[in-house]
A = this chain, B = another copy of it.
Amino acid sequence: MSKQPVHIARRDLDDCRVPLVNEPLSAGQAERLAPSFKALGDPVRLRLLSLIASHAGGEVCVCDLTDAFDLTAPTISHHLKVLKETGLVSAERRGTWVYYRARPEALGLLSTVLAVPQEAAA
């Protein structure tokens, strides 16, 4: 088994780091952003992401994630793959297990897209 980090499918989102309340998204920006929001549009994936992102040390073994849900390992693996393919988490295989980390730059970008002026959010 490879010890290389699992490669992350990255889409270029650099030009999307603008609140959508500021100006209309282009069709291209919307096409590139939508898969990330779609990945978050599932309760199991949201919980997986928050378990990974909030974990002390920033890293979680897939073995610990599987234990946290009443779901089969292949189902958890499928959801983790979706999170990885959209760049929301990264994964590294070490020995038997794969270890997951949240990618704060990806979360931060999506947070920025949805940001509103503070006085409007109250």
Interface residue A5 (Cβ < 8 Å from any Cβ of B): no
Per the CB 8 Å criterion, the residue count for chain A at the interface is 45
Known contacts A111-B115, A121-B105: A27-B54 contact under CB 8 Å: no
For residue A111, which residues in chain B have a CB less than 8 angstroms away from its CB?
Answer: 111-116, 121
Which of A33, A36, A39, A46 has most chain B Cβ within 10 Å? Answer: A46
Q: How many copies does the complex hold?
A: 2
For residue A110, which residues in chain B have a CB less than 8 angstroms away from its CB?
Answer: 114
On whether the beta carbons of B44 and A41 are closer than 8 Å, the reply is: no
For residue A83, which residues in chain B have a CB less than 8 angstroms away from its CB?
Answer: none
Please name the 3 residue pairs, one residue from A and one from B, whose CB atoms are nearest each other, closest first.
A38-B41, A108-B121, A20-B50
